[in-house]
């Protein structure tokens, strides 16, 4: 797969799955802009890795709950890239919480970051693709949690199902312009999003026992399927959900 001279955007690209995909794209020649929310040092390290491949790389700190900041980010993209070929909507949070302790502010925060921000970022980026006649690729990082529930994830699973619903409609709307839209559904991948949760030995052993491959996923395990879906080799997969969970979902007994 060749990404030379492609312009890619990755939200939440400073760590975890987003970082693995952003670096993999750069290693195959793509220019990359990634957003991040908190850690400047961590973002700087990821940016160095991206730029070490001789590509144009930029990081952008943003609170994706905030529409004004999203609009400023789009202006930044237009400044740095004359067009966009690939958008990876990855940023997401999952504060594990008892359902009855999830209040409106928390629910709104998770909804805005995981779903609403990507609805509007995708609206603006797809306009750029259409205006430049780019038959681009858009990938939502959804989750196995779009398909199954989680006792402490009622807010989060709602967002991941919402992402798939958005993806289905955008595959129709943007497919008319030759832009292909899909979602990747990672299983349990060990990243900062779940480090605390999986620090509970009993929980970690249970999750590992659910996976036929015998191990939790690594962010790098997501790069291959993600890159295929946004590559030129993908000529007909549109509106699809690709589960990447090591066999966890189907492992009932």
User: Which residues sit at the interface with ligand RM4, rule CB under 6 A?
Assistant: 94, 143-145, 150, 188, 193-194, 197
CB nearer ligand RM4, residue 59 or residue 188: 188
Q: How far is the CB of 121 from ligand RM4 (least distance, A)?
A: 20
In the bound complex, what is the minimum distance in angstroms from residue 248's beta carbon to ligand RM4?
A: 8
Strands in 137-141's sheet, in edge-to-edge order, are: 57-61, 31-36, 7-10, 86-89, 137-141, 180-186, 241-244
What is the Cα gyration radius of the chain? Answer: 17
| Angstrom distances, CA of residue 136 to CA of 169, 173, 210 | 16, 13, 36
Smallest gap from Cβ 154 to ligand RM4, in A, equals 12
**Hey, CA dihedral for 123, 127, 128, 133, is it positive or negative?**
positive
Which one-letter DSSP state was computed for residue 36?
Answer: E
Rank residues 168 and 210 by Cβ distance to ligand RM4 and give the closer one. 210
Q: Which sign, positive or negative, has the C-alpha torsion 28, 186, 249, 198?
A: positive
Nearer to ligand RM4, 65 or 197 (CB): 197
Q: How far is the CB of 243 from ligand RM4 (least distance, A)?
A: 11
| From 160, 183, 203, 209, the catalytic residue | 160
Active-site residue, 36 included? no
Catalytic residue among 14, 19, 143, 183: 143
> Distance between CA 178 and CA 173 in Å, rounded?
10
Report, in Å, the least distance between residue 202 CB and ligand RM4.
14
Q: How many CB atoms lie within 10 A of CB 49?
A: 15
143 tagged catalytic = yes
Strand pairing report for 137-141 and 180-186: parallel
Which of 30, 60, 145, 156 is the catalytic position?
156
240 is catalytic: no
Token match 């709602």: residue?
158
Nearer Cβ to ligand RM4, position 150 or 239? 150
Question: Which is nearer to ligand RM4, 74 or 249 (by Cβ)?
Answer: 249
Residues marked as catalytic: 143, 156, 160
């Amino acid at each position: 797969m060749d990404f030379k001279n492609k312009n890619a955007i990755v939200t939440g690209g400073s760590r975890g799955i987003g970082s693995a995909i952003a670096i993999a794209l750069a290693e195959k020649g793509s220019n990359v802009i990634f957003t991040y929310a908190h850690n400047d040092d961590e973002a700087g390290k990821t940016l160095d890795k991206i730029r070490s491949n001789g590509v144009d790389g930029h990081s952008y700190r943003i609170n994706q709950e905030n529409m004004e900041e999203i609009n400023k980010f789009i202006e930044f993209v237009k400044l740095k890239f004359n067009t966009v070929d690939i958008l990876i909507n990855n940023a997401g949070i999952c504060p594990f919480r008892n359902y009855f302790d999830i209040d409106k502010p928390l629910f709104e925060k998770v909804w805005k970051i995981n779903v609403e921000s990507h609805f509007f970022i995708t609206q603006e980026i797809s306009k750029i693709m259409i205006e430049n006649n780019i038959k681009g690729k858009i990938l939502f990082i959804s989750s196995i949690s779009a398909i199954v529930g989680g006792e402490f994830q009622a807010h989060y699973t709602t967002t991941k199902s919402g992402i798939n619903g958005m993806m289905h409609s955008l595959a129709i709307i943007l497919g008319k312009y030759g832009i292909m839209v899909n979602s990747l559904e990672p299983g349990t991948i060990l990243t900062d999003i779940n480090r605390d949760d999986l620090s509970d030995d009993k929980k970690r052993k249970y999750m590992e026992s659910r996976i036929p491959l015998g191990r939790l996923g690594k962010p790098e395990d997501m790069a291959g399927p993600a890159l295929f879906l946004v590559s030129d080799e993908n000529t007909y997969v549109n509106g699809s959900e690709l589960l990447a969970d090591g066999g966890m979902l189907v492992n009932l007994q």
